[in-house]
């Protein structure tokens, strides 16, 4: 009888031990880093565009990609017609909407890649790409235009030495928006 009670107690103690071990937070795996973290995340670095100021490394990387991509788009005869209003302004020496687009695109990609210290306040992707709600979009885009846009972002990212596996992740992120952006 005593032996049975002793065995039972051993089993109970072992069960309690294994239960608490399963609930030990230290055993849970670290969450997968966000794309933003992989791009440098919140580490503060000096901002080459604004001497004396600091910027999150992830945001600096994305802003560099966005600005390179805008140049690639402007030089691409398939994509530039969509940006006719913007390119006309730039041609006339008015850079204010170019700065707004750069900020909006950077905000969008910053938030979409998982940043927490920024927000996107521009149009949603459907309205931004419908000439009826955004007259700065010259015409609706189709799947080929969207593929060309991805190509421009890949070129912009490559120019900034973004590692291939992260470019693939950026491409996958953009792909999730095809349904809203492509409207013909």
The number of C-alpha atoms within 13 Å of 56 and in the hemisphere containing its C-beta is 19
Report the alpha-carbon distance of residue 10 to residue 104 in Å, rounded. 63
Q: Strands 44-46 and 54-56: what pairing?
A: antiparallel
* Residues 26-45 interacting with ligand HEM (rule: CB under 6 A): none
What is the smallest separation between the CB atom of 85 and ligand HEM, expressed in angstroms?
5
From candidates 39, 62, 72, 105, binder to ligand HEM by CB under 6 A: 105
Q: Are 85 and 6 in contact (CB under 8 A)?
A: no
Segment contacting ligand HEM by CB under 6 A, of 4-12, 35-43, 139-147, 159-167: 139-147
From candidates 38, 82, 157, 170, binder to ligand HEM by CB under 6 A: 82
Which residues, including other chains, have CB under 8 Å from residue 96's CB and lie 6 or more apart?
A: 89
* Residues 141-180 interacting with ligand HEM (rule: CB under 6 A): 141, 145-146, 149, 174, 177
Secondary structure class of 15 (helix, strand, coil): helix
From candidates 55, 101, 111, 166, binder to ligand HEM by CB under 6 A: 101
Q: Are 129 and 140 in contact (CB under 8 A)?
A: yes
Contacts with ligand HEM by CB under 6 A lie at 79, 82-83, 85-86, 97, 101, 104-105, 108, 122-123, 128-129, 136-137, 141, 145-146, 149, 174, 177, 181
């Amino acid at each position: 009888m005593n032996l049975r009670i002793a065995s039972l107690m051993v089993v109970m103690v072992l069960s309690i031990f294994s239960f608490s071990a399963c609930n030990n937070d230290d055993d849970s795996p670290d969450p997968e880093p966000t794309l933003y973290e992989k791009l440098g995340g919140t580490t503060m670095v000096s901002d080459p565009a604004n001497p004396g100021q600091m910027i999150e490394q992830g945001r600096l990387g994305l802003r560099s990609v966005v600005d390179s991509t805008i140049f690639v788009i402007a030089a691409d005869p398939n994509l530039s017609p969509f940006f006719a209003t913007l390119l006309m302004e730039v041609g006339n020496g008015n850079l204010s909407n170019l700065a707004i687009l750069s900020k909006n695109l950077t905000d969008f990609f910053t938030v979409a890649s998982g940043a927490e210290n920024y927000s996107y306040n521009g149009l949603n992707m459907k309205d931004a790409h419908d000439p009826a709600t955004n007259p700065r979009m010259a015409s609706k885009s189709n799947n080929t235009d969207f593929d060309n846009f991805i190509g421009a972002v890949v070129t912009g990212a490559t120019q900034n030495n973004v590692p291939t596996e992260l470019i693939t992740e950026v491409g996958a992120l953009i792909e999730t928006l095809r349904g809203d952006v492509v409207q013909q």
